[in-house]
Structure 1
Amino acid sequence: MSMKNQFKELAERVFHRMIDAPASDWGMDIEKWDWVPGVGVISILAYGQLAGDPKAIDYLRQWTERNRHKSDQVKVINSMAPYAIFPALYRITGERWYLESATKIGDWMLSEAPRTREGAFEHTVTEEAQFSEQAWADTLFMAVIFLARLARLTGDSKYAKEAEFQLLVHLRLLQDPETGVLFHGWNGAEGNHMSAARWARANAWVLLASPWIAEEINDLTQLSEEILERYQQLAAGLRQYQRESGLWNTVLDQPEFAEETSGSAGIAAGWLAGIRKGWLDHTYKEAVRNTLQGVKKYIDLEGTVQGVSGGTPVMPNIPAYNQIPCYPTLYGQGLVLILLSLAHAGQAAE
């Protein structure tokens, strides 16, 4: 079997594990409206488009029909993720509901979503918790990808300009000038990075989201050169922390911490997305191939991705990140699915 076909076979197995999960498997519960199923459906869309699997697109249409009534029940930044599939589904189906719902929520984000004093979207969540004045790396993937796709769908530059601003302000607030990698979060009120953890999955969200966002808004607004410079610094910085296994530790600069699959897959997928965008050169491909070999070892025969750390807020200190339990999750499946889909599309096999 060729390498590309291996990636496709693995991707299909990971995809079916996501959509066939029993209701009791709470880490894989896709029948909700929040960030976890949001990452799931975003990755299924990427798989459908990159691997050419029509079953994925059919599934997303059915998923939206089942869950559309839940979309108005929550309006927080972290639950914007499912809307990221709406522009593509509108193009495919022509159903006005997708366009009208996306525009409505996009306008809410521009005019009502809470922000930090720097203008970054405050990381609001569905749980009973408040993170006042906090900007998290997760937001670029969970909310700004959608805003960028809405911009391209409507041709309205107001969404594009906001997406560009959010990308730039998050990079400015979160990037460590010494290493180039990102801290998990920023507290605008206190003016610090809280526990100052260089968390692997935070870096993955941003490394992957940034070229995706830029690709959508290129024709609608001028992209700051600072974004590209910071992105390349981030990509290069992450190379320094890659382990011999091809993976990264849960916290990048803590070699005694466990290696973590979802963040590792997301970083490698981000490198491939950067190459595809023309932001990174092909020297990253060898590092991506190492990650693919490492990640494959964590995919069991049923397509379950192991070694995924659980949902993680900005923890009070760095040792607390090593206490997060590992279990299979939709976002773990999703980041691996995106990596495999990009690899199948030829980005890593050349």
Structure 2
Amino acid sequence: MIKNVFLFLLFLPFKFCFGQTELTNFPAGAGPKEVGYRIAHRFVAGKHMLHAGKWISYPETFYWTGAINYADLTDDQQLMQAMKDRFSKLTSVEQNLLPIKNHVDLNMFGSLPLRLYQLTKDKSYLDLGLPYADTQWEVPQNASQAEKDWAQKGYSWQTRLWIDDMYMITILQTQAFGATADPKYLDRAAKEMVLYLDDLQRSNGLFYHAPDVPFYWGRGNGWMAAGMTELLRMLPRDHRDRPRILKGYLKMMKSLKKYQSKSGLWNQLIDQPDCWEETSGSAMFAYAMISGVKQGWLNSKQYSPVARNAWLGLTKYVDDKGAVSNVCVGTNKKNDKQYYYDRPRHTGDYHGQAPYLWCVNALLEDGGK
């Protein structure tokens, strides 16, 4: 009898043994498929969120991609067709909204058509998306000397050492790799990530917004967490930069575990207990942890409860129409602590809608519900 029990335990599914069931069983109203449906379908009728009033913005790009991935994971063909139809309109009657290729916050748009190409194999998506990835490393004639200097060192000329960049650059280059299997795209993103890790990660595992802005801004740190997550998902185990990136990721996750509030969320300034809870950065942290547990980078017993509490806390900020509240608006760097306290909070802002879908999709992978 004892022997039989031992054999039963030995061959239990991996995720049961290591606590991953905490990321599959949720109370009514908090299931990722249900929450994701509301958020993803909200995008169908949503208005464009433009960058500088001219081009499709990075929050809209990432929300769009999140909805596409949700449609793919759930086989929601109606939603997928709506996403394709919206993109067809963008590339026809709305061509003026296609971003130009001269800034880190604009080039990242290419990650959207590159993802569509991976799912459809329609070459028109590849032809549109790949130049955004390539021009991130092709120095324009009017580049500044500082931009040229970065390029000469093998980095993107769009390097500026803002933590936001480590999702903008990483997601574009990893999607280019996903579309082409050309390792140069992974090498670019990994080299860039190591630079940012070395320059911006502090001894406590968190990141300054920029070298001259010594504050641990929530969503900025979220961009770093999500960027490392995307890279670790793609990098081969024998890639030369993987150990450095994994080390930075683990150091950050350990710190975030410490700073998580009782509600499951993290604050606008992570290390300031009197600062307000912010949802977009919290969702990015949750995404990084959910992925870490499922991919085996994180100890499941330690981090599954953290990720679960984060998700349950996040679901309380989603209304019945799929709008996420308590989202910090777009935020430039500023060496002023009060500036981060005073940032406006919006509901339905795409900065928050997108990372919620990252969490949803990570939870739904491998048969989640």
Partner of 1:343: 363
Distance in 1, matches of 2:208 and 2:73, equals 31
Matches within 5 A, 1:118-157: 121=156, 134-157=160-183
Distance in 2, matches of 1:122 and 1:242, equals 36
8 Å contact kept, 1:87–1:102: yes
- Quote how far apart the aligned CAs of 1:344 are: 3.5
Q: Deviations over 1:238-287 (max 9, x none)?
A: 11111111111100011111110111111011111222332212121101
Distance in 2, matches of 1:83 and 1:11, equals 24
Q: Deviations over 1:213-236 (max 9, x none)?
A: 232342895433111111100111
8 Å contact kept, 2:114–2:179: yes
8 Å contact kept, 1:265–1:339: yes
Q: Secondary structure at the match of 1:312?
A: coil
Partner of 1:269: 287
Partner of 2:261: 243
Gaps of 5+ in 1: 124-132, 186-192
Q: Structure 1 pair 172/51, CA: closer, same or farther in 2 (3 Å)?
A: farther
Q: Quick one: percent identity of the two aligned structures?
A: 23
Q: Structure 1 pair 107/51, CA: closer, same or farther in 2 (3 Å)?
A: same
Q: Secondary structure at the match of 1:134?
A: coil
Residue in structure 2 matching 1:279, options 297, 311, 331: 297
8 Å contact kept, 2:62–2:112: no
Distance in 2, matches of 1:286 and 1:348, equals 16
- Quote how far apart the aligned CAs of 1:72 are: 5.4
Q: Secondary structure at the match of 1:73?
A: coil
Q: Secondary structure at the match of 1:181?
A: coil
Residue in structure 1 matching 2:227, options 204, 209, 212: 209
8 Å contact kept, 1:77–1:121: no
- Quote how far apart the aligned CAs of 1:87 are: 2.7
- Quote how far apart the aligned CAs of 1:53 are: 2.6
Please tell me whether residue 82 in structure 1 is matched to residue 102 in structure 2: no
Q: Structure 1 pair 323/42, CA: closer, same or farther in 2 (3 Å)?
A: same
Distance in 2, matches of 1:309 and 1:33, equals 19
Q: Structure 1 pair 348/228, CA: closer, same or farther in 2 (3 Å)?
A: farther
8 Å contact kept, 1:285–1:348: no
Q: Structure 1 pair 293/198, CA: closer, same or farther in 2 (3 Å)?
A: same
Please tell me whether residue 46 in structure 1 is matched to residue 69 in structure 2: yes
Amino acid at match of 2:173: L
Q: Deviations over 1:275-328 (max 9, x none)?
A: 233221212110111112211111112111011010011123111101110012
Q: Structure 1 pair 208/278, CA: closer, same or farther in 2 (3 Å)?
A: same
Q: Structure 1 pair 259/27, CA: closer, same or farther in 2 (3 Å)?
A: farther
Q: Deviations over 1:66-116 (max 9, x none)?
A: 223233534311113332132332233332222222232222112227477
Aligned residues: 329
Q: Structure 1 pair 111/251, CA: closer, same or farther in 2 (3 Å)?
A: same
- Quote how far apart the aligned CAs of 1:203 are: 1.6
Amino acid at match of 1:140: M
Amino acid at match of 1:305: V
Q: Structure 1 pair 15/240, CA: closer, same or farther in 2 (3 Å)?
A: same
Gaps of 5+ in 2: 1-24, 141-146
Q: Structure 1 pair 140/315, CA: closer, same or farther in 2 (3 Å)?
A: same
- Show structure 1 runs of 4+ deviating over 3 A: 49-52, 113-123, 219-224, 344-349
- Quote how far apart the aligned CAs of 1:170 are: 1.6
Partner of 1:8: 33
Matches within 5 A, 1:1-350: 3=26, 6-21=31-46, 32-68=55-91, 69=95, 70-71=97-98, 73-112=100-139, 114=147, 117=150, 121=156, 134-177=160-203, 179-185=204-210, 193-218=211-236, 221-282=239-300, 283-328=302-347, 329-345=349-365
Structure whose alpha-carbon radius of gyration is higher: 2
8 Å contact kept, 2:111–2:171: yes
